[in-house]
Amino acid sequence: MAPSDETLTDIQRSVLEYVQSHLMQNHRPPTVRDVMRHFKWNSPQSARKHLLALEEKGYLEREENTARGLKIVEDSSVGISIPILGRVAAGLPLLAEENRDGTMVVDRSMAKGGKNLFALTVRGDSMVNAHILSGDKVIVQQTTHASPGEIVVALLDGEATVKTFRKTSSKIFLEPANPKYQNIPVNEGQEFRIIGKVVGVFSPR
């Protein structure tokens, strides 16, 4: 059932607006204690009660076993909730629960009509000249194909890396955007596959 604004009490509407605002500003949902502190309640139980009511009325969904497990339902206009991958394991499906490290909300325009968006936290400075810094989250459209010159997330020998995809008639290599680093050739016998194309960058700074 699609959520209906008429079903909300004034305080529930205020809590939902806070959750939406927090998601858009921080690209991650608030915790129960965030909600409690924002509304100056003395107990987290008050926050849980209103969040549960929003879940029951179809405005929020919750992922189990995580403090920031709130998700805006698909019918919400606030944006699209996508998984943050803490790691990418070669033997697991890309969006398997074991890979996930929470969620964040991105604007619907990033999806461009597609599905299977995910976010990945960047480590290191190899893409600084592409304005992708350590600690940033890249927003990735899941795909196994890319054109030369596109920034991709690739799995090379079990390790995920963010680089520019390059291809010649005889060679594939991954190009950093920092002169400190050399191109990474993909040699015969190495495990290599593209797992997505970068469609956006979120910087927490």
Q: What is the pLDDT of residue 42?
A: 92
Enumerate residues 6+ apart whose C-beta is below 8 A from 44: 32, 33, 36
Architecture of the domain defined by 5-78? Orthogonal Bundle (1.10)
163 is catalytic: yes
| CA 105 – CA 100 distance, rounded (Å) | 15
How far apart, in Å, are the Cα atoms of 202 and each of 75, 100, 124, 141?
23, 18, 15, 14
The domain spans of the chain are: 5-78, 81-202
Q: Which residues of 31-47 are buried (b: 16+ CB within 10 A; e: fewer)?
A: bbebbbebeeeeebebb
Using an 8 Å Cβ cutoff, are 69 and 29 in contact? yes
pLDDT band at 146 (very low <50, low <70, confident <90, very high): very high
Residue with tokens 């890979």: 99
Top-ranked range on mean pLDDT: pick from 60-64, 102-106, 127-131, 157-161: 127-131
Please check the confidence at residue 126 and state whether its pLDDT lies above 70.
yes
Which of 3-7, 15-19, 100-104 is least confident?
A: 3-7
The active-site residue, picked from 81, 126, 137, 197, is 126
| pLDDT tens digits, 67-120 | 566 766 654 555 677 888 877 665 666 766 677 777 777 766 666 555 688 888
Q: Domain spanning 81-202: which CATH class is it, in words?
A: mainly beta
Enumerate residues 6+ apart whose C-beta is below 8 A from 116: 95, 141, 142
126 is catalytic: yes
The active-site residue, picked from 57, 71, 137, 163, is 163
Q: Which 3 state secondary structure label does DSSP give 19?
A: helix
**Number of residues assigned to the chain:** 205
